[in-house]
Amino acid sequence: MPDTLEFLAMPNASTEEADILILPIPLERTVSFKPGTAEAPKAILETTEQLEFYEEDAGWSPFKHMKLSVLPEFADDKSEIDADFHARLTEHVASLPIDNLFVGLGGEHSLTPALVAARMPKPGTVLFLDAHGDMRTSYAGNRYSHACPVTRLLEQGHKIVIAGVRSVYESEVDLVEDEPRITLFLDWDLRGKEQWESFLHKVNSIEGPVYLSIDMDVFNPAVVPGVGTPQPGGFFWYQMIELLESLFSKKQIDLRGVDVVEIVPEASRVSEMTAAKLLLKVISFWGSAHGFNLKPQTGSQMQVEYE
């Protein structure tokens, strides 16, 4: 039996009652460089114990007002072929209540299309943050590789806004040119102030249902050294905060889900802490955008002793 995982050492609410559902998915099948992402969900959740309950950017304590549940991890069954694993993941996530913030905690990036299929069955927009294009049709003969999720998402009918990319393959460049549903912001192109502002405007003006996929390699390796396939360049912390502020200041945001993927735990634990804090920011901004700060203080934090 795996240990029960918690967020900020709070007791898990029931699945039906939870305002936030976190699903740990220790998937590691197709990593191509540094192994270890299967250990990430547990390492990140353990690190959340070091967070404060107060979230300083939105200026409130989200868990006073919201209930959270870390679901039992979605274990990999290595005897299962990739297609069956991903179908089972979609089926599992589709069976969960939908009136909440859903967070998939990976694990490798190949899990995203299965989560999107469950949470956004009709065409919407995936905001896809990544150092790599992830647009290959297949990689090393595998359609379910972590190098391919964008292609799978296009097959589901979604538009994709990709940002932070600084490593692409020639066929991926061709695909971006031919595929009007992809909007690509190369990392280099976001360095100018005007370009950055225009990217934030794009994020703020996405219409309809949206899903946010965060490959932690989108960050500069100085911020997040522990990822499976690091790349120089990339986002710094406050860029990510600005991006989240743009996304969550949209009027009536219809966010269907979020995933945080590709962390490989490392000795300094800086990467796990950055992922943990990023989860707190997403939860806080989402709750604030939905007016939970005005709701009664019956959240998960009220059940724990602290100070």
**59 dihedral zone (left: phi>0; alpha: psi -120 to 50; beta):** left
CB of 112 to Mn ion, least distance (A): 8
| Closer to Mn ion by Cβ: residue 39 or 46 | 39
Nearest distance, CB of residue 61 and Mn ion, angstroms: 32
Query: What is the Cα–Cα distance from 9 to 45, expressed in whole angstroms?
Result: 9
Tokens of 9: 């050492």
CA distance 67 to 14: 9
**From the CB of 128, what's the least distance to Mn ion, in Å?**
8
| Smallest distance, Mn ion to C-beta of residue 29, A | 14
- Least separation in angstroms between residue 217's CB and Mn ion is 6
Question: CA 140, CA 131: separation in Å to the nearest integer?
Answer: 19
CA 39 – CA 26 distance, rounded (Å): 7
Considering the complex, state which of residue 55 and residue 259 has its C-beta at the smaller distance from Mn ion.
Answer: 259
Quote the CA–CA distance of 172 and 165 in Å, as a whole number: 11
Rounded least distance, CB 110 to Mn ion, Å: 9
CB of 146 closer than 8 Å to CB of 262 = yes
Q: Nearer Cβ to Mn ion, position 168 or 203? A: 168
Q: Binding residues for Mn ion, per CB under 5 A?
A: 109, 130, 134, 215
- The residue among 82, 94, 70, 92 whose CA lies nearest residue 28 is 82
Residue closer to Mn ion by CB (options 134, 259) is 134
Q: Which is nearer to Mn ion, 28 or 215 (CB)?
A: 215
Minimum distance between the CB of residue 262 and Mn ion, rounded to whole angstroms?
6
Q: How far is CA 287 from the centre of its chain?
A: 16
Peptide bond into 107 cis (omega under 30): yes
Minimum CB distance to Mn ion smaller for 6 or for 134: 134
CB 176 within 8 A of CB 182: yes
Name which of 179 and 245 has its Cβ closer to Mn ion: 179
